[in-house]
Amino acid sequence: MHPRAGQVALPEDLIDVDQVVGAYYDRTPDVDDPAQQVVFGTSGHRGSSLDSAFNEAHIAAITQAIVEYRAAQGTDGPLFIGRDTHALSLPAWQTALEVLAAAGVTVMVDARDSFTPTPAVSQSILIHNGAATDEGVRTSGPGLADGIVVTPSHNPPRDGGFKYNPPHGGPAGSEATGWIADRANEILRGGGLASVRRVSLEDALAAGTTHRHDFLSTYVDDLSNVLDLEAIRGAGVRIGADPLGGASVEYWGAIGERYGLDLTVVNPQVDPRWAFMTLDWDGKIRMDCSSPSAMASLVHQMRPEGGGDAPFDVATGNDADSDRHGIVTPDAGLMNPNHYLAVAIRYLYGGARPDWPAGAAIGKTLVSSALIDRVAGDLGRTLTEVPVGFKWFVPGLLTGEVGFGGEESAGASFLRKDGRVWSTDKDGILLALLASEIIATTGRTPSEHHADLVDRYGQSWYARMDAAASREQKARLAALSPEQVTSTTLAGAEITAKLTEAPGNGASIGGLKVTTENSWFAARPSGTEDVYKIYAESFVSAEHLEQVQAEAEQVVGDALA
C-alpha cells in the first residue's frame, strides 16, 4: 500500500496533457518491440503514447483493420462510436473517424460532441439491430450495426484504449480481436500511417456518411424499461452520483431530471489529469470505483465529521467509461463488489423481475465470490460460471438464457423488465441505480441485505494479489494444467476440483482454479499488463485465506520457475 493511498493527488502526480497528446502524434511505434505492438486484452488495446504503445499509427491501423474485418463479416450498417474523458480519447476518436470516413463507413457520432459511456454505445447498437422488437437482436444479415468505444476504462490518465463491439453489442471475442490485432500489426509493418487512407477531420465530420446520434436521450429515455424508477422517485431515495470525472457526467444529471429523482451529481468536474482524485493503493491515479483508496473522497462525504446523518441514502461511483460501479452506503461505506453482486442477484431473482424467463441462469466469472454460488443454489437457479471477460455473457444475455452477468471487478448487466436484452456490455450506471431501487422497494440498503446473506451462508474473506510477470512467464501460467497441482489438499482441506476450463461453457480460463468445500484460488495472467493475478477466497477465516494464498503462490512459483 502506497503511503499516500487515499489522499488527494499532488501536482507531481499529474500528467502533462500536452506532452501525452503530443507523444500520440510525434512517436512512431517500433512494431518489432512486443510492448509497442497492437495487443487486444479482455477489453481492447490499451497503452500510453509516452511508451509508444498508443499512438496515431496504432489507431489508424486498428481502425483500418476493423473496416476490413466488418466488411469480411458482411457488417454494412452504421458504426456507433463513443469516447471517454481520457486525454488520448479525443485524438484517437478523431483518427478513427478520419479512417472510417475515407472508407465510406456510415458512422454515428455523439450529437452533443461529448462523451459517451460504454453501455450507451452497446445499447444503441442493440436497438438498431432489433433489441426492442419481438423478433429480438439480429446478428447476421444486411444493415447490422457495430461500434467502437475509445477508452482505457479505469486506467491512469496517461493511458488510451480502443475497443471494438460487433453487432451483438458486447466486447469482441478473441477470434475477432485476434484477427484485428494481427491485421493492424501487419499494416504497421507495411508502412504504418502512410499505408492507411484517410481524409481530414473537417472532411470526415462533413461527410455524408457521418451522422449525429443522440446517445444520451436514447439511453436515458429507455432506462424505465429496465429499472423501477417510479419506485425510486416515490420513495424519495437520496442519491449521490460521482462520475469520477468520466463519461457519465452529463448522463446522471439527465437521469435525475428526466425521472424527477432526488439525485445530486457529487462532482461534475472533467479534468484529463484527474487532479481531484485520491490516489489508488499503489500511488497511481486510477478511476477504479471498486477501490477504497480511489473512492476515499466519496466515502468520506458519506461519513460527516462530527457525526450526523449521511447526505445521501446511497452514493455511487463510475469509472471513466461508466462500465463499472461502486456502491457506498451510510452503514457500511464502500461495498465489496462481490458482496453487491450477490445482493443484486438475490434481489432480481428473488421476485423483483417476475417477467424474466423462468430458466434464466445467473452468470458469474470464475474469480467471483462463491457466495454467488450459494445464493444461486438457494434460488434454485442454474449458475453459469465463465472465464474472466464480459464477452462470455453476451450470448446468454442476447437470448435471455442468462438474466444477469457479473464480474468481480464491479462490472455487470442484466435484462430488461420484460426479459429482453438491455446491454451486452457492462453497465455501471444501471447497477448503480439498482442500488436505489433496492432501497426504494425493500426499505433497506444493499449492505444490510449483504449482512442477511452472511447470516444465512456464512462470512467469506476474499482478496486478489498482483505480481510482476514477463510475457514468457504469463504464457507458462496460461498453460498450467491440473496435473501440475500434485497436492490433494489446499490449506488443510480436500481439493474438490482443479479447473483449466470454465464449468459454464468449457472455455479455457487461461490459468488454473483449485477449489475445496470452503475455499478456492485462481491464478491467471493479466490480459493488459505484465502481471499475474491470484484470486482467493475462504469461508473459514482471514488466517485461512492467507494460508490459501500462500499455497497458491507456491503453485504459481513452481510454474514460473
Place of cell 498450467: 480
Cα gap 266→238, rounded to integer Å: 12
Contact between residue 553 and residue 534 where contact means Cβ atoms under 8 Å apart: yes
Place of cell 417476475: 354
Long-range contacts for 483-488 (Cβ within 8 Å, ≥24 apart)? 484/512, 484/555, 484/558, 484/559, 485/512, 485/514, 485/555, 487/551
User: How many angstroms separate the Cα of 177 from the Cα of each of 174, 312, 421?
Assistant: 5, 42, 23
Cβ neighbours, 10 Å, residue 390: 25
Residue 23 DSSP SS3: helix
DSSP string, 542-557: HHHHHHHHHHHHHHHH
> What angle, 0 to 180 degrees and rounded to 10, lies between the N-to-C axes of helices 337-347 and 428-442?
60
Place of cell 424527477: 260
Q: What is the dihedral of CA 185, 187, 192, 197, to 10 degrees?
A: -140
C-alpha cell at 162: 480502443
Place of cell 465510406: 104
C-alpha cell at 30: 517500433
What is the DSSP pairing of strand 238-242 with strand 314-318? parallel
Sign (positive or negative) of CA dihedral 199, 202, 207, 210: positive
The DSSP output letter for 277 is: P
In which element (H, E) is residue 211 found? strand 210-213
Write the burial class of residue 18 (CB in 10 Å: 0-12 exposed, 13-18 middle, 19+ buried).
exposed
The DSSP output letter for 315 is: E
The one-letter amino acid code at 554 reads Q
Cβ neighbours, 10 Å, residue 427: 29
List active site positions: 153
Separation of CA 175 from chain center = 20
Cα gap 48→436, rounded to integer Å: 37
Contact between residue 159 and residue 86 where contact means Cβ atoms under 8 Å apart: yes
Cα gap 90→341, rounded to integer Å: 33
Place of cell 475515407: 102
Cα gap 114→100, rounded to integer Å: 19
